[in-house]
């Protein structure tokens, strides 16, 4: 609906005829309120990673002494990207900062192959 300058009533933008809302005073017709069908809900799962420490170790993939990050990862249910409910327990891992390979923390005690 479009109200034209100087016009006494709301008029249809396509036809130019007075609005057929049934209001005898020519006021703008009411718009409907937002319903649940009009709302977009973003939800899903996401993995969050928390670094526990770092150091050097012998990388099983690079076969060289490399730096690593020891981290704890956990999956979460999120709504609008806000983590709400954790899924399962936390898992510890060691990641090589050069090749990006991820292993169990037991790799830190392994002896390098000479």
How do residues 80-95 score in pLDDT, each as one tens digit? 888 899 998 999 999 9
pTM, to two decimals: 0.56
Average pLDDT over residues 58-64: 89
Average pLDDT over residues 62-84: 91
Q: What is the per-residue pLDDT for 105? A: 92
The answer to whether residue 30 scores a pLDDT higher than 90 is: no
72: nearest Cα among 96, 47, 55, 40: 47
% of the chain at pLDDT higher than 70? 66
What SS3 state is found at 97? coil
CB 91 within 8 A of CB 72: yes
Give me the phi and psi of 108, to 5 degrees please: -70, -25
E-state strands within the chain: 43-58, 65-79, 82-96, 102-103
């Amino acid at each position: 609906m479009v109200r034209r300058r100087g016009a006494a009533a709301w008029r249809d933008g396509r036809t130019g005829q007075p609005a057929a809302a049934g209001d005898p005073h020519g006021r703008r017709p009411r718009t409907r309120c937002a319903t649940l069908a009009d709302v977009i809900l973003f939800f899903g799962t996401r993995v969050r990673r928390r670094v526990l420490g770092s150091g050097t170790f012998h990388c099983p993939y690079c076969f060289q002494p490399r730096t690593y990050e020891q981290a704890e990862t956990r999956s979460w249910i999120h709504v609008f990207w806000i983590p709400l409910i954790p899924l399962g327990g936390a898992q510890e891992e060691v990641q090589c900062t050069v090749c990006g390979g991820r292993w169990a923390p037991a790799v830190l005690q392994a002896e390098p192959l000479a």
